[in-house]
Amino acid sequence: MPRPPLVLTIAGSDSGGGAGIQADLKTMLALGAHGMSVLTAVTAQNSLGVQGAWALPVEAVRAQYRSVVDDIGVQAVKTGMLASPDLVTTVAELLSDLAAPVVVDPVSVSKHGDRLLADDALDAVRTRLLPLATVVTPNLDEVAELTGVTVTDEGGMRRAAERLLAYGPRWALVKGGHLPGQAVDLLTDGSAEHWLRAPRHNNQHTHGTGCTLASAVAVGLAQGREVPDAVRRAKEYVTEAIAAGFALGAGIGPVDHGW
Least Cβ distance, residue 3 to ligand PLP (angstroms): 27
Phi/psi at 196 (5° precision): -105, 115
Q: Tell me the CA distances in angstroms from 180 to 153, 154, 176, one per residue in order.
A: 10, 12, 9
- Identified binder of ligand PLP from the candidate list 80, 85, 106, 176, rule CB under 6 A: 80
Between 137 and 147, whose beta carbon lies closer to ligand PLP? 137
Q: Is 12 in the site for ligand PLP (CB under 6 A)?
A: yes
Least Cβ distance, residue 209 to ligand PLP (angstroms): 5
Contacting ligand PLP within 34-63 (CB under 6 A) = 43, 45
Nearest to 72 by CA among 2, 7, 137: 7
Provide the annotated active-site residues.
175, 206, 208-211
What type of residue is 105?
D
Strand order in the sheet with 76-79: 49-55, 34-46, 6-14, 76-79, 102-104, 135-136, 171-175, 184-188, 193-197
Least Cβ distance, residue 1 to ligand PLP (angstroms): 32
Helix axes 20-30, 227-243, angle to 10 degrees: 110
Q: Is 161 in the site for ligand PLP (CB under 6 A)?
A: no
Q: Tell me the CA distances in angstroms from 12 to 86, 169, 200, one per residue in order.
A: 15, 22, 28
Q: Is 177 in the site for ligand PLP (CB under 6 A)?
A: no
Least Cβ distance, residue 186 to ligand PLP (angstroms): 20
Between 87 and 228, whose beta carbon lies closer to ligand PLP? 87
Phi/psi at 249 (5° precision): 65, -155
- Compute the distance between CA of residue 229 and CA of residue 18 in angstroms, rounded to an integer: 26
Report the C-alpha dihedral over residues 10, 126, 150, 119, rounded to 10 degrees.
Answer: 70
Contacting ligand PLP within 185-224 (CB under 6 A) = 207-211
Least Cβ distance, residue 12 to ligand PLP (angstroms): 3
- Compute the distance between CA of residue 25 and CA of residue 49 in angstroms, rounded to an integer: 21
Contacting ligand PLP within 115-134 (CB under 6 A) = 116
- The 89-118 contact track toward ligand PLP, x by CB under 6 A, reads ------------------x--xx----x--
Between 14 and 185, whose beta carbon lies closer to ligand PLP? 14
Can you give the binding site for ligand PLP, defined by CB under 6 A? 11-12, 14, 19-20, 43, 45, 80-81, 107, 110-111, 116, 207-211
